[in-house]
Amino acid sequence: MPLIDSVFIVTGGTSGIGKEIARELVINFSTVIITGRDKTKLKAVAKEINAIYYHADVTDDSQINALFNYVLRKFGRLDGIINNAGIGDWCPVEEVTRERFKNVFEVNVYGVAMMTARAAVHFKKQKKGDIVNIASTASAKGYANGTIYAASKFALRGMTQCWQAELRPYNVRVIQVNPSEVPTAFGKVDRVEKELEPKKLTPVEIAQVVISALKMDNRGFIPEVNVFATNPF
């Protein structure tokens, strides 16, 4: 679809992949509302990339509802959401706890589900809309110490497939993007961006994939795409 004059919400838009997707949408003349937990950082990034910020936490349903009400009231439309907010937790299986599972699933699974549920109401009425879920190659293959994180991304993949089946008759496209390793602030307690590495992906490649998928004419869509570094070894 044409991105010019479109309105998008990007969760977790203050750093890494979310920030780069938001930047590319702005470059393509979309109105972009980024969300995040850190209000100071949110304001600074919005100013840097010429986006609009809205302080919201996807683990809080009241904040999700307030976000959608704000966007629809202020702009009168919503064309797509990018479910990018996510957290990670890695440990040996014997160190897995119920609390650690809950913390990750609140953001990576429940948060995405509630964002999508709210968007679906609007998209079904208008018979169009795009939902992009930023997952991981961990959504298709588990690995040592990845019990919690991989489980959350496997769950996201299953939900994405369900939403594709439900929403496709309404001309709503649900797209899952699975990056392999991208050095970002993801997983870091201090939220400082990691240094980029020559043989690993950057947020730019993931943003390029998202923009390309969104620009495709609405008669077609990409259900799922994996993005790997060419030569990581």
CATH of the domain at 193: 3.40.50.720
pLDDT at 15: 94
Helix, strand, coil in percent for the chain, rounding step 5: 45, 15, 35
The answer to whether residue 194 scores a pLDDT higher than 70 is no
Asked if 206 contacts 134 with a C-beta cutoff of 8 angstroms, the reply is yes
Average pLDDT, the chain: 94
Comparing CA positions, the residue from 25, 62, 64, 66 lying closest to residue 46 is 25
The total domain count for the chain is 1
Quickly state the pLDDT bin for 187 (edges 50, 70, 90). low
Comparing 26 with 197, the larger pLDDT belongs to 26
pLDDT at 193: 57
Choice among 54, 70, 110, 149 that is catalytic: 149
Q: Considering the domain boundaries, does residue 2 fall inside one?
A: no
| 170 is a catalytic site residue | no
Quickly state the pLDDT bin for 220 (edges 50, 70, 90). very high
The model carries a pTM of 0.93
Q: Considering the domain boundaries, does residue 232 fall inside one?
A: no
State which residues form the domain around 189.
7-227
Q: Considering the domain boundaries, does residue 127 fall inside one?
A: yes
